[in-house]
Amino acid sequence: MLNNIFENKFIAMENKLDALNEKLLNITSGITPVIIISEIGVATGGSNNTIIDTTKNYETNILANKIINVEVDDITYTRTILSNTVNTITINVLPGASAIAKIGTAETSEVTITVTAKGVAGNEYTVEVVEAPGTDDNLSASLTEDMLTVYLGKTAGSLDNAKNTGTLVAGVITQLAEFTAELTGSGGVVDATLAPIEFTGGVDVISVSSGDKYTR
């Protein structure tokens, strides 16, 4: 008899605990988890892949693989920390890209041209491939304002395929300080373009500067 009484009370207590747990689950289900910020700082300098804070005295690489947020021009960028020194945190590179254009035939004579300086200004360039004006001319390239012109080589008044391979075209373009170029096709002769080709994809470089805030 006494055992039955204790057993019934124990079951009743279990039921109350189950009901309480259910209420707690209902209360907490709509709560957004709190992200704990362990550090707030202000950069004293940096670059597109570093945050410098000369007020810090970190142990080397103690921050490696942690996540950091840095605010530049009112935009927050989240990056993984690659390494750190006493006062410099190295992160994955912030945005920034060079404009590119492609000439030639895809998979054969294609040449990819890249503007040396990263940024949207590179999107102002165009490139055209034309026959050289003379009868016996070497392959050449020149830049006039924002127009890059490749002049295909000729021999005895006709285009000379031996002078106009993708590898050679990339070479004369790379001689200009404003561009680099490489053969991205398998090889072949570059033909004249029907119209100028625009450069695209340039993105201004984002760099950390003194006064930019960061958290982790």
| Angle made by CA atoms 165, 167, 170, in degrees to the nearest 5 | 110
| 8 A C-beta contact, residue 216 and residue 37 | yes
- Residue 35 burial (CB count, 10 A): 7
Residue 11: pLDDT over 60: no
Please tell me the predicted confidence (pLDDT) of residue 185: 94
| Per-residue pLDDT tens digits for 117-137 | 999 999 999 999 999 999 999
Percent of the chain with pLDDT over 70: 83
Reported confidence tier of residue 37, pLDDT bands at 50, 70, 90: low
Instruction: Tell me the pTM.
Output: 0.73
| 8 A C-beta contact, residue 78 and residue 215 | no
Please measure the distance between the N-terminal and C-terminal CA atoms of the chain and give it in whole angstroms: 62
How far apart, in whole angstroms, are the C-alpha atoms of residue 58 and residue 61?
8
Please give the backbone phi and psi of residue 137, each rounded to the nearest 5 degrees, phi first.
-130, 145
Reported confidence tier of residue 15, pLDDT bands at 50, 70, 90: low
User: Kind of pairing, strands 179-183 and 126-131?
Assistant: unpaired
Residue 24: pLDDT over 50: no
- Average of per-residue pLDDT values in the chain: 89
Please tell me the predicted confidence (pLDDT) of residue 29: 55
**7-21, 59-73, 88-102, 168-182: lowest mean pLDDT where?**
7-21
Residue 22: pLDDT over 60: no
Residue 183: pLDDT over 90: yes
Judged on CB neighbours under 10 Å (0-12, 13-18, 19+), 109 is: buried
**86-90, 99-103, 106-110, 195-199: lowest mean pLDDT where?**
106-110
Please tell me the predicted confidence (pLDDT) of residue 26: 55
Cα 161 to Cα 58, 109, 152, 181, 214: the distances in Å are 61, 12, 9, 19, 56
Please tell me the predicted confidence (pLDDT) of residue 103: 98
